[in-house]
Structure 1
């Protein structure tokens, strides 16, 4: 499994492979199944279509592991343009960002400055269009969690944003040994938490690497997030998974502990398993899709495959339109 992950991450970070894939007419149609548009206007149009089907979205500008100031500025500007456009379109404000998109590879002070800038833009746009933001959990800048080397700094950034009263949320990877302690602190503070299993090739010293242990750690995290005390504290859980078993488990725990279905959500990837997504909505679950936009689609797509070999089948079905 770790070899698979490392291989896919290497492909994602290879400039030569990325340039080849982006220039390939044969492969390019594949990207349209996983990407919501080449620019913010196209992504917002896609988000509006999804909203008509009672599906929320989180916009993500394609561009990660950026090590030049020029590209960092491009990433930040794309999000700053998208945020007010979302609000004007009547869409609830929710955008996701990788710290490596907005400057962490250059300096964490630059990353922090840009995160605050985007979070303030979200807050300002929400204030200007309050009716569109009425749905739980309200507007948010969701901090994606990357490899374990940036875990501590990303959590610190989240807490700094919240201390300033800015609309921030954070992703937690349940497979990390430290995550339960992090979740306890977040739950005590009533956080908006996206819970994922974790997809990087971490060592056994810091993460569960066996599938059964990874599944068990996810269930343990679900138990904490859906505890009655977490609900009383104002926690809003978002399950970032396509795993039937984990979603069913969470739904059972939530119902047992008195959580309404509008007090938590499931987050999945745009273009992956749309038939299953429709079924969840029909069953009354709150569903949000992670909606990437932009031109740099290859690193994102191959990293999704790298999360687990099972995703390869999902992505191939999406590429040919099966979407099961």
Structure 2
């Protein structure tokens, strides 16, 4: 799996492959499965449609590892406009952002300024929902700076949350501090091709690390401290385990949620929502869809079938 992930990440970061794929009308069918729209208006429309099925959304503007100041400013402006649109629609003003979208490729100081401005937009448009700027977590080289960014936003009294990756060796220690901070934490298994000195690499070990992190985030201490856990997984075994631990430790259904990707296990998403589990979908929008979409294939080779069906005009 490590070689497969590296290959898909290589395709995601190739500018020539990205241009070729995004210019293909056939591959656009592939994108529509995982991407909620070409612009902010379409992303908002998709979020509104999800609400009709009792599903919430976290909107993400496509684009990563950006070093062009103009593109960085565009990202900040578009997400600010989406925050306003979410607020006016009565939807959760819930945005996800990669630090490398907002200046980290130039400097972390520039990133901090942009992320702080965006968090202020979220705060200004917040209603009564789960309104927050969620910091996505990228490869391990930016783990600590991203956590530092989260704590900076919290120190400014801004609505911030952060993603942690269960497979990293450092995660148990990071979770101890986040629990003490009463954080909103999105826990994912981890999908980057990290070396063994940074992360566990076997599937069984990854699952065990994820279960241990679930126990930490759903502990009685975390509940009493105001932690809001978000379990980013499509693994029904992990969701069932989280439900069991939450019930055993006195958590209510509105005190935690499951987050999944748009277009992945749609029937299961609706099943969970129908029985009262809070479900949020990671909803990307924008024109730079190839890097994001091909990484979904890297995370699960079965998604490769969607590519072939799209190429031959049978996209779902």
Q: Is TM > 0.5 for Structure 1 vs Structure 2?
A: yes
Match of 2:226 among 225, 230, 234: 234
Supply the RMSD in Å over aligned alpha carbons.
Answer: 1.6
Q: Which residue of 2 aligns with 1:35?
A: 35
Report the TM-score, using the length of structure 1 for normalisation. Answer: 0.94
Q: 1:317 offset after TM fit, Å? A: 8.3
After TM superposition, the structure 1 = structure 2 runs for residues 171-250 of structure 1, keeping only pairs within 5 Å, are 171-250=163-242
Report the TM-score, using the length of structure 2 for normalisation. Answer: 0.96
- Report the Cα distance in structure 1 between the residues aligned to 2:176 and 2:255, rounded to whole angstroms: 19
Q: Which residue of 2 aligns with 1:99?
A: 99
Other structure's SS at 1:50 match: helix
- Report the Cα distance in structure 2 between the residues aligned to 1:200 and 1:308, rounded to whole angstroms: 12
- Report the Cα distance in structure 1 between the residues aligned to 2:211 and 2:21, rounded to whole angstroms: 37
Q: 1:308 offset after TM fit, Å? A: 3.5
- Report the Cα distance in structure 2 between the residues aligned to 1:11 and 1:232, rounded to whole angstroms: 44
- After TM superposition, the runs of 4+ consecutive aligned structure 1 residues lying more than 6 A away are 314-319
- Report the Cα distance in structure 2 between the residues aligned to 1:41 and 1:313, rounded to whole angstroms: 29
Other structure's SS at 1:105 match: coil
Other structure's SS at 1:100 match: helix
Distance change (3 Å), C-alpha of 1:121 and 1:239: same
Other structure's SS at 2:259 match: strand
Q: Which residue of 1 aligns with 2:85?
A: 85
- Report the Cα distance in structure 1 between the residues aligned to 2:249 and 2:304, rounded to whole angstroms: 35
Q: 1:17 offset after TM fit, Å? A: 0.4
- Report the Cα distance in structure 1 between the residues aligned to 2:230 and 2:95, rounded to whole angstroms: 14
Q: 1:290 offset after TM fit, Å? A: 0.3
Q: 1:315 offset after TM fit, Å? A: 7.3
- Report the Cα distance in structure 2 between the residues aligned to 1:76 and 1:234, rounded to whole angstroms: 29
Q: 1:314 offset after TM fit, Å? A: 7.3
Q: 1:306 offset after TM fit, Å? A: 1.3
Q: Which residue of 2 aligns with 1:291?
A: 283
Q: 1:273 offset after TM fit, Å? A: 1.4
Check conservation: 2:30, 2:315, Cα contact below 8 A. Answer: no
**Across the two proteins, how many residue pairs are aligned to each other?**
314
Other structure's SS at 1:43 match: helix
Check conservation: 2:232, 2:259, Cα contact below 8 A. Answer: yes
Other structure's SS at 1:198 match: coil
- Report the Cα distance in structure 1 between the residues aligned to 2:194 and 2:177, rounded to whole angstroms: 23
Whether 2:291 is the aligned partner of 1:302: answer no
- Report the Cα distance in structure 1 between the residues aligned to 2:308 and 2:186, rounded to whole angstroms: 26
After TM superposition, the structure 1 = structure 2 runs for residues 148-163 of structure 1, keeping only pairs within 5 Å, are 148-163=140-155
Unaligned runs of 5+ residues in structure 2 are none
After TM superposition, the structure 1 = structure 2 runs for residues 24-63 of structure 1, keeping only pairs within 5 Å, are 24-63=24-63
Unaligned runs of 5+ residues in structure 1 are none
Whether 2:125 is the aligned partner of 1:125: answer yes
Check conservation: 2:184, 2:230, Cα contact below 8 A. Answer: yes
